[in-house]
Structure formats: structure tokens, C-alpha cells
Structure 1
Amino acid sequence: MNQIPTGQPGPANRDAEILIVGGGLSGASLAAQLLRLPGQRRILVIEPRAELGRGEAYSATELGHTLNGNAARMSIDPDNADDLTQWLAGHIAEGGWPESRRQPVPISELFPPRGLFGVYVQQRLAEARAAGLDQGSTLGHVQAEVVDLESAHDGVLLTLADGRRLRGAVAVLATGMFPAARTRQTQSSGLNAAALDPWDVSAMARLDPLSTVLIIGSGLTMVDAVVSLEQAGHRGPIEVFSRHGLLPHVRRQPPAWVDFLGQAPEIRSPRQLLHALRRQCREAQSRGIDWQAPLDTVRVHIPRLWSQASDLQRRQFVRHVRPWWESHHHRSPPLSDELVRRLQAQGRLRIHAASYQGLEPGIDGRLAISLRYRGHWETARVQGDALINSSGIEYDWRRVDRPLPRQLLARGLVRPGPLALGISADPRGAVHDAQGQAAPRLFALGPPLRGLWWESTAVTDVALQAKALAACLAGLSL
């Protein structure tokens, strides 16, 4: 694509009506929804990777890195909860994913590898692309990174890392998640420079198999890191440090439970939710039913409850409840959990409640970190042979040292979301500028809207947002 002369993005010289910044799950889902709607529209997805639909999460190549939800929970079709299950059934019948036959459970209860899920997203996008062509809609992929964005009354102008510019009627920020382990932070302590990537099995294979590995963070990224170490042949001790020392619970398949929140409109705050949820879980256990059954009915109500909560209530939830919410709600796939528990039983993996303070000079080529153990004021020093940052996702765009977030904040085109979680937007996904005004030509979906919806990262969250935003964009006069 040739460089486009500088100028305002008027209708006559647009490259597309809709520019989607990011081609992972969020961007691919939105593109697929738009392509299936009546009408003719040109869509461009700007994504540095060679493939659309994979993004950060689904570019994984190791079979051990699986979804943390079973197939029945991970459909990208908001109108068909069985879509992934049906796709997997066909894929397995044709000889794909032969390892699945070792698991004696229905296909709906399988936890597919994340790389295979990426294939599923790509196939559904290809089908939507074909349907769009029948109606005169097109989808293009520009393999580049967007480093700047400007907005005018009649369109948007994107600047790419190689200097090219793209014009459109509207732009959508589908930037996905910024893993802390792969994000340079503006106030970096040097952690990532010294740490191994949690998903880089080849780098871990170069370690001494009996080396001591230190891991910061005990959530799902830590679980992935332990799987990576196991696949790399590591057999040494693993020391995990996190502020609360909580592990994700394993995801089970509990029986259906009544939608108690749907029958209780008086529950309107996080505190009321927690009290009601505890009562429901105790009732389930008293009847011999898994406590996860009541919990699994809550997710559909989270956007409403979060939006109704006051800033104080949200702040209290994030400060006091979030660690337990994450460990109970964002659960580990069974095979990964089995590995973690086995290593704990062997004494090879230990979990410590301690907060990371910084890097320390190591001795004899080793590295060291300073920690403050829970309940202690003094700082302790711990040595190891390798370090992994598994502290999860960086949602605060002010701390993400990437060109586009920096430029959008500097231009005042976006502002931090509630509690600095993602960016602020209205319920349609129209982004708020620095003055709090909803932008007419800049939208967002998925992880950037964490502060708006709280749960805005899971497949079902993204699928529902993509459907709603596609309908909104299709209704605009572009």
C-alpha cells in the first residue's frame, strides 16, 4: 500500500469506512460481525502479526497452553453457545487435535489449546469474509503497528510505524490486552529486562534443568509459566511470590443453578453481591452441590452491577475483594491445575505471600529480588537462577510504554477509565476524550473497556460487545 499524502481524512480519499486497530480476538470478532450485516462497507484491520484472529493470547503454539474455559463456554458466536463445540467436533472428526482422544469427556467439556482456538477464530472470520463479499463488503489486513491517531469532524487518520497513513470514517481500538510480562512500563524497575517470557518454552529449555526459578505473581499467567517450564524439561524448585499468595481455583463443570440475581433486582452493589453470593454458595454446599454452580450464574450480571456501583464501592471492591474474585472467578484448566498441585505435593513448587520490591545484585551469575513478606515490615532478599514476571495484565494505559496509548493520551483523545482500568467510554463503546465527551468517530471494545464493564476480557464478553458495536457502526452515516 502506497503512502497517502498528509491531509484531512475526507470521504473522497478514505481507505475504508471502518479502521480496526488490532486484529486479535476483539478485532476479528468485530470484523466478522460487520461482514455479516446487510450493506456494503470497506473494513481494514491494522495488525502487526501476519495472521488475524490470534493476537497475543491465541498465538501460543504449545498444546499445554490451553483455554481456561471449556468449549461450551468459549463460543465467539453470541447467538450460538455451542459454536465452538460444533467446530471442534468437526475438526476432531477430520483428524485434528488427536490428543483430545486421551480425555474421556464430552467435546463440550474439553479445554482446547489456545493455538487451536486461534484456528477456529480464523475459520469463522474467513466464512464471514466470504459472506461479506456476496453483499459487496470487503475486509483488508494491513500488517503494521499503528503509532498515532488523529480525529477530525469528517474522519480519522492513522499513522503507521513505517510512515504510511490510513484514512477512515471511524476507528475502533481493538488493542486487546497488554501482558505485564511483555509490556515495557514507564516506571519500569527492570523486571522484564531480567525476566523470561512466561510462554517462551525454548528460552526455558536453555536453563539448567535443576535451576531455581522465581516467579512474580500467582494467577493464570503463573500457571502458564509452570506449564512452560514443565514442557521445557525443568525439574528444579519453583518459588512463587504474590501479595496474597492465592492460587486460581480449578474450573469444574458444576450442575446448573438458579439465576438468583435475576430474581433479586434489589441487589445493586458489589457488597450486596458478595453477601448474596456467599449465601448461595453455602446453600449449594449444604445440598452437596459444587459452590462453583452459583458463582457461574453471576457473570451475565457483572456489567450491570459494576455500572451501578459508586466510585467508592468500585474502589473498595478492587482494593479488598479483587484478589479473591480473580482466584475464584478466573479459574485454571484442569490439566494445568493438576500439574501445579502435583508440583506442590512434591515440594518443588511453593507459594509465598510476599510483595515484590525490586531487583537486587546477584552473586556468582545468579539474580536476586527483594520482597516484603505479608505481616513483616523488613525486606527480605531471595536468590534464584531465573526469574519470570507473571503479574498478569497491565490495564493502566498510563503505564503502557507503547506508541499508540502514549499518543492517544497525549492528544487528549482518550482518558483513563474508572480506577485507571483501561480507557473511559460510553455504553456503546464511544471513547471519552480528556474532557469527558464521547467521540463521534473513535470506539473501543474488549480489554480497553475493563473500567467500564469490569469483566471485559473473556471470549463471551468480547463476542457480545462485538455484536453490539457492529450494529452501532452499521447504523452510523459513514
Structure 2
Amino acid sequence: MTSDNNRPDADILIIGGGLSGTMLAVQLLRLPGRRRIVIIESRSEVGRGEAYSATELGHTLNGNAARMSVDPDDANDLTQWLTDYIAGGGWPASDEQHVPIPELFPPRGIFGLYVQQRLAEAQAVGAVHGSTVEHVRAEVIDLNSDAEGVRITLSDETQLYGHFAVLATGMFAAARTPQRDANDLNAAAVDPWDVQAMRQLDPQGRVLIIGSGLTMVDAVVSLEQAGHRGPIDVFSRHGLLPHVRRQPPAWPDFLGADHGIRSTRQLVRALREQCEQAIEQGIDWQAPLDTVRVHIPRLWSQATDLQRRQFVRHVRPWWESHHHRSPPPSAKLLDRLVREGRLQIHAASLQGVEAPQAGHVRISVRYRGEDQPKIETGTALINSTGIQYDWRRVDRALPRQLLKRGLIQPGPLALGIAADPGGAVLDAHGQVSDRLFAMGPPLRGLWWESTAVTDVALQAKALAARLAGTQRQSR
């Protein structure tokens, strides 16, 4: 599949220019060999995506600098970059966290600068080999492939041709993603990260938030920075808040020493025992929990569908609140608002949303333990339900077309899309593509945890090596 001049527009088309797509480009540029890389990203900048386009300093990473390196071969990469950045006059408010640089929780906007700088450095390395990367600002609305390559169609009907394409679409934030069969939540809601829009709200009005995870934490930070001083009521099915992320000491890798732990029940039992042991020794319970993270891909991939469903149904809410923890500055704010009586968490499920009228919104919720729903009224509503991983529900052109053409199939439990362990996409018939690949959040169903910076960095390095090797074989 080639363009009119019989020359593909790119060796590798990367669909998405957030963290996933940018880090894949970085790894490809660092490898020997000449290749043309095109990143298709609708934003004006690559390297930021949904997560790192935030401009407010209060929206920080939920991991400290020592945990968030984009270089899988150098865990201190972000720490060193941040040290130089602060020394050069960047982020003067960093000293307000009162911790050493490795323990800082940088603003997500500054992290985006770090990613962009690493891309610029990789471009210089790639130029030595004759490799290039180009940013095409557009949205991909369709894709087709055959034995020769991949053709993508952009929103302006332009078509691009490449030997390979990678779905690095990142996360579909529920608050910003049109969804099939959804209620009117987004139509009535304020964007969780739009501080400017929140400044237009009644500063003393009651704000209703649906969902109690990290998006909710961001929403509360946004409200605080917008000057909101009224009550905030958060509704989620289990009423769980994210725990604060601390810096616990090292703990023995108990899962590495016992591969006999395979089922959800075995994992939960062993982890509870380890946490109890830590508490008895006066050690933070987060220490044993942090050793589990590296084993999750193995445990998830070897689990049966039944075990996965059991995990999602019975363990997931507690896993999310204990593992996906809040950065200390944000947790401190939430704790203060709870103590002041301004923030309340309710265990209740959303039943319906009425169209907002004259600055008021009405929702129907069913409180846990009650049979009948109740109406709650506020001056504003925020959708903080997190990420939509089911591509069948994402009402955007590319997921629709890929499913319609049978080029992809849903991943396990309808989380993301199906692929082989190296990221090659499986079509509707289970055939492994030799032209279409995926990485990052689309592989949620394959690995469960596939969104963190370290996950993306490792996947980018492995996929870059695979693509480079396949590229050599096809020449």
C-alpha cells in the first residue's frame, strides 16, 4: 500500500502523540537505522496528550519523581532532569513540598516539558542515522491495511500511507469522551480540569461529583484553584477515596519468592498477611503493596477469565483506592475539606441526570442499602468516573471504524483491545496483524496495568525493537 509516487509517507505511523506515542518515537529514534516516523496528534504539541496538557501547578503527578522516569534504563532520569530544571529557575514553588527532589510530585505540565525535551534529544540522535519524526496535526478517522502496509484517513480526508501503524491513542477520559448508550452526564457536567469554567460557577454553590478516584481529586483541586468555597458532595458506588501516596521503606518481594500464588483469593490473602506483618513491625502497610506492582502483568495474563472477572467485580475498587494513590499536596487539600465539613463522600450509584436549568442541576442517585433513588440538587456537576476502556462504547470515528472493519476485537473483559504479548493487534477472527500494533492504555485488558509511566516506557522500548527488526526483514 503506497502513495501516488509509490513511496510510503512513513515507515511507521504513530496514531496519538501523548506519552505513549512520543516515547515510542523516542525509542525508535535512538535505534540505529534510517526510518521515517509520523505522529498524528490533534493537539498543537506532542508529548502531552490528555494527561500532561494540564497547565495548573496544582495538578501534579500521582507518583514522585524517583518513580516516573520515561527512560526504562535509568530510574533517575526524571530526578536528574528536575534537578537541572529547578536549578535553572523552573518551578520555584517546588520548595513548598519540603522534600528532596526524588520525592517531589511535579506538576503534570512540567512533566510534559520533560517528555518533550527527551523527544528533542532523541531527534538529534536520530538525525545522525538519517531518521526523522514529523507531527501531523489531525485526527485519524479511519484505517485500513493489507499485506503491503497501512492507509489512514485524516479528518480533512487526507490519506497517509505507512509500512506499519501503532495505536498509541492513550486514555479516553470519560469526562471528555462521547460514549454510546451513555446518560446525559457529560452534557450537564463541567470539565474536571477546566479551572476557567469553574471560575464562572457560584463560589458558594453546592457541587456534585460523580466518581471518587484520581479524576475526582483533580476536580477538587481545580475547584479550589478557581476560588470555589462551597460544599462538595462526591458520589461513588463504594464511597472509597484514594489513599495518599507515601514513601515506605523497602519490603521483601514475597510474590517473586512464591510463584504458587495465582488466584485473586490467594493474592488478596497473601497481601493482607504481608500488610499485617508490616504494621506489627511499625512499617507502613504501603511497603508490601508496592512490591506487587511489578508482578501484576504476569498474574493478570496467567489468570482465567473467571478469575479476572472476580478481581474486577470484588477487588478492583479497593485495588484502585489503595494502589492508584493521591499525591500528598492533593490529599492534604481533601483532608482539610473533609475536616471543614465542605467535602462529603457518599456510597451511592448514579441513576440519571436531568438537563441543567438556570444554574442548577438535578441527579438521581441510589444510596447503598436503599431501594429507591433520591434526587440531589447542586449548582454544578462534574463527571469524575475516570477512564473509558471499552472501545465499543467510545463514540469516536477511529474506534468505530476499526471495530466495523473487524481490524480489532475487544480485549479481555472488554478492556481495551486484544493483542499478542508484543503489541501486535488481533483482528475480529483472532489473526495477529503484521502491520497494526498497539501500546499503552489500549492494552489494559492484556496487562491490567498499562497506563503508568513505567509501563509505557517499557512497552515503548520493546515495541520499538520489534518494529525495527520487522522493518529490516521487510526490506
Same fold flag (TM > 0.5): yes
Determine helix, strand or coil for the equivalent of 2:227: coil
The aligned runs of 1:78-89 (5 Å cut-off) are 78-89=72-83
Q: Give the share of equivalent positions with the same residue, in percent.
A: 72
Which secondary structure does the structure 2 equivalent of 1:372 belong to?
A: strand
1:126 pairs, out of 114, 120, 128, with 120
Aligned residues of 1:23 and 1:53 also touching (Cα < 8 A): yes
Equivalence for 1:180 = 174
Equivalent residues of 1:65, 1:227 under 8 A apart: yes
1:211 is matched with 205
Q: Which residue of 1 aligns with 2:312?
A: 318
Which residue of structure 1 aligns with residue 278 of structure 2?
Answer: 284
Measure the CA separation in 1 of the matches of 2:378 and 2:39. 43
Aligned to 2:246: 252
Residue 375 of structure 2 corresponds to which residue in structure 1? 381
Alignment partner, residue 154 of structure 1: 148
CA contact (8 A) 1:270 1:306 kept: no
Question: How many Å separate the matches in 2 of 1:38 and 1:134?
Answer: 9
| Residues 97 and 329 in structure 2, CA contact (< 8 A), matched pair in contact too | no
The offset of 1:361, in angstroms, is 5.9
Secondary structure of 1:381's counterpart equals strand
Cα 1:305/1:141, change in 2 over 3 Å: same
Q: With structure 1 as the length reference, what TM-score do the two structures score?
A: 0.97
Structure 1 residues 376 and 9 mapped into 2: Cα distance closer, same or farther (>3 Å)?
farther
Do residues 110 (structure 1) and 104 (structure 2) align? yes
**CA shift for structure 1 position 10:** 9.4
Alignment gaps of 5+ in structure 2: none
Equivalent position of 1:293 in the other structure: 287
Q: Whole-Å Cα distance in 2 between the matches of residues 411 and 111 of structure 1?
A: 43
Q: Pick from 325, 328, 350: which aligns with 1:334?
A: 328
Distance in 1 of aligned mates of 2:330 and 2:219? 10
Amino acid at match of 1:130: A
8 A contact 2:70–2:115 mirrored in 1 = yes
The residue identity in structure 2 corresponding to 1:340 is L
**Distance (whole Å) between structure 2 residues aligned to residue 105 and residue 410 of structure 1:** 51
Asked if residue 92 in structure 1 is aligned to residue 86 in structure 2, the reply is: yes
Task: State which drifts further: 108-117 or 10-19.
Answer: 10-19
Distance apart, 1:365 and its partner CA: 4.6
Question: Do 1:413 and 1:432's aligned partners in 2 also have CA atoms closer than 8 Å?
Answer: yes
What does 1:76-475 align with in structure 2 at a 5 Å threshold?
76-360=70-354, 365-475=359-469
Partners of 1:249 and 1:10 in 2: CA distance: 56
Distance 1:353 1:8, change over 3 A: same
Deviations 1:185-204 (A, max 9, x none): 11121110110000000000
Does the alignment pair 1:71 with 2:62? no
Moved more, 391-400 or 353-362: 353-362
Post-superposition shift, 1:269? 2.4
| Alpha-carbon separation, structure 2, partners of 1:272 and 1:419 | 21
State the partner residue of 1:3.
none
Does the Cα contact within 8 Å between 2:409 and 2:426 map onto a contact in 1?
Answer: yes
2:221 & 2:77 partners in 1: Cα distance?
28
Q: Aligned partner of 1:65: which letter? A: H
User: CA, structure 1 residues 409+9, in 2 after alignment: closer, same or farther (shift >3 Å)?
Assistant: farther
Instruction: Classify the secondary structure of the residue corresponding to 1:57.
Output: coil
Deviation at 1:12, TM superposition (A): 3.3
User: Could you tell me how far apart the structure 2 residues matched to 1:447 and 1:382 are?
Assistant: 34
8 Å Cα contact 2:2-2:162 kept in structure 1 = no
In 1, are the aligned partners of 2:165 and 2:437 still within 8 Å (CA)? yes
- The DSSP-based 3-state class of the residue aligned with 1:351 is strand
State the SS of the aligned residue for 1:353: strand
- Residue 297 of structure 1 aligns to a residue in which SS? helix
Q: Distance in 2 between matches of 1:177 and 1:409?
A: 18
Contact preservation (8 Å) 2:41, 2:135 = yes
Greater mean deviation of Cα atoms: 9-18 or 140-149: 9-18
Q: Does residue 58 of the first structure (1) align with residue 70 of the second (2)?
A: no
For residues 267-294 of structure 1, the C-alpha deviation after alignment (integer angstroms, 9 at most, x for no partner) is 1222221111111111100100000001
- Secondary structure at the counterpart of residue 230 of structure 1: helix
Offset, 1:364:
6.0
- How far, CA to CA, are the matches of 2:357 and 2:192 in structure 1? 24
Conserved 8 A contact 1:10-1:155: no
Q: 1:212 to 1:371 in 2, by over 3 A?
A: same
Assess if the C-alpha contact under 8 Å between 2:359 and 2:380 holds in 1.
no
* 1:18–1:247 Cα change, 3 Å: same
Per-residue displacement from partner, 1:198-247 (whole Å, max 9, x unpaired)?
Answer: 00000000111101100000000000000000000000000100000000
3-state SS in 2 of match to 1:475: helix
SS of corresponding position for 1:59: coil
Structure 1: distance between partners of 2:138 and 2:307: 41
Letter aligned with residue 463 of structure 1: A
Residues 356, 372 of structure 1: 8 Å contact kept: yes
SS in 2 for 1:298: helix
Helix, strand or coil for the counterpart of 2:255? coil
TM-score, normalised to structure 2's length? 0.98
Partners of 2:25 and 2:467 in 1: CA distance = 11
Retained in 2: the 8 A contact 1:60–1:114?
Answer: yes
In 1, are the aligned partners of 2:22 and 2:47 still within 8 Å (CA)? yes
Number of aligned pairs?
Answer: 472
Distance between the aligned counterparts of 1:461 and 1:362, measured in 2?
A: 40
Deviation at 1:360, TM superposition (A): 3.0
8 Å CA contact 2:188–2:355 kept in 1: the answer is no
Residue ranges of structure 1 left out of the alignment (5+ in a row): 1-6
Task: Measure, in 2, the Cα distance between the counterparts of 1:363 and 1:182.
Answer: 21
The CA distance in 2 between the partners of 1:364 and 1:42, in whole Å, is: 53
Deviations along 1:130-184, one digit per CA (max 9) or x if unpaired, are: 0000111111111111000000111000000001000000000000000000011
> SS in structure 2 opposite 1:101?
helix
